[in-house]
Structure 1
Amino acid sequence: MAHGAREHRYAVEVVWTGNRGEGTTGYRAFDRNHEIRVEGKPTLTGSADPAFRGDPTHWNPEDLLVSSLSECHMLWFLHLAAVNGVVVTDYRDTATGTMAVSRDGDGQFTEVTLHPRVTVRDADMVTKVEKLHTEANAKCFIARSVNFPVHHAPETLVAPG
């Protein structure tokens, strides 16, 4: 670890809730449902992607990975906007991810694309926004930790009035 760096630790408990009474006696004998718990926070209900016999109404690891990248970028972007005099009045992202799965079931993400739609207060702030997206991508802890590209297709709007 670099001189002067700080460590942050995170503790998450994942509890399988999908035992129907026979455990994992067969591929179809159990549910993929689970709970994701962090002390002091609401419990998330998780499962596998529906393509892998999961419950489509629950969060899956792939959803959480894509949302982590989107959320991290947004938080860095908003911070950078605030310290650079760019007043953001709305931020929405419809992030997408692509995962390739081989015939033997191995797989990995090949890319994620963020589509942030940012509304700023004044038209003179628009030119700074693209630079802030680039800087946010470079600073995002999650994007820096993955081994696939995180692309950006931003759109900038100016608030009416």
Structure 2
Amino acid sequence: MAHKEHNYAVTVRWTGNRGTGTSGYRDYDRDHTIEAAGKAAIAGSADPAFRGDAARWNPEDLLVASASACHKLWYLHLCADAGIAVLAYVDDAQGTMIDSPQRGCFKEIVLRPRVTIRAGDNPSLAEQLHHAAHEQCYIANSVNFPIRCEPVIEIASE
């Protein structure tokens, strides 16, 4: 099968100029918008630890969300192919970042999806498909730190 290339175009627009630009470290806001054609803008900033606005999404939040969403999309696809009906899916994902003087980086992301499947479907297979989803996940295949998955499979009451 030939490789397909997919391209993604976004615009990150800094909106934090208070009038004097970056004249000093404390003289500007870290606020920005993340935009893409045909989509609602996302209000972004830095993490509050880095003088950002806690009410806005920061790059670290978005990285954890991207890993979680990519895994979920693959998982739902694989379940549908395997005949497992997923009725609910909630992931309380968490990322750990190390901020060091030399170089900051993510240490890991832990996905904790709680999945409800249809009564009569195979819970063991539903759990195994998380491993297959991880192997397929574009985000997990693109980062240089581990993404672990600790799924909980629940069976819907009949």
TM-score by length of structure 1 reads 0.96
Aligned length: 158
4+ residue runs over 4 A deviation: none
Residue 140 of structure 2 aligns to a residue whose secondary structure is: helix
Residue 143 of structure 1 aligns to a residue whose secondary structure is: coil
Give how far 1:106 is off.
2.6
Moved more, 147-156 or 122-131: 122-131
1:114: which partner in 2?
Answer: 111
2:144 equivalent to 1:153: no
Q: Find the aligned partners of 1:34 and 1:134 in 2 and give their Cα distance.
A: 36
CA RMSD of aligned residues (A): 1.0
Match of 2:51 among 41, 49, 53: 53
1:6-30, CA deviations, whole angstroms, 9 ceiling, x for partnerless residues?
1000000000000000000101000
1:11: which partner in 2?
Answer: 9
Report the identity percentage.
53
2:39 equivalent to 1:44: no
State the AA in 2 paired with 1:140: C
Relative to structure 1, the CA distance from residue 49 to residue 94 in structure 2 (aligned partners, 3 Å threshold; closer, same or farther) is: same
Match of 2:63 among 55, 62, 65: 65
Match of 1:136 among 133, 136, 143: 133
**Gaps spanning 5+ residues in structure 1: where?**
none
Give how far 1:129 is off.
1.2
State the AA in 2 paired with 1:117: R
Give how far 1:101 is off.
0.7
Residue 106 of structure 2 aligns to a residue whose secondary structure is: strand
1:44-78, CA deviations, whole angstroms, 9 ceiling, x for partnerless residues?
00000000000000000000000000000000000
Residue 77 of structure 1 aligns to a residue whose secondary structure is: helix
Give how far 1:117 is off.
0.3
Q: Find the aligned partners of 1:58 and 1:124 in 2 and give their Cα distance.
A: 40
TM-score by length of structure 2 reads 0.97
**Gaps spanning 5+ residues in structure 2: where?**
none
Q: Find the aligned partners of 1:45 and 1:113 in 2 and give their Cα distance.
A: 25
Residue 76 of structure 2 aligns to a residue whose secondary structure is: helix
Q: Find the aligned partners of 1:123 and 1:27 in 2 and give their Cα distance.
A: 59
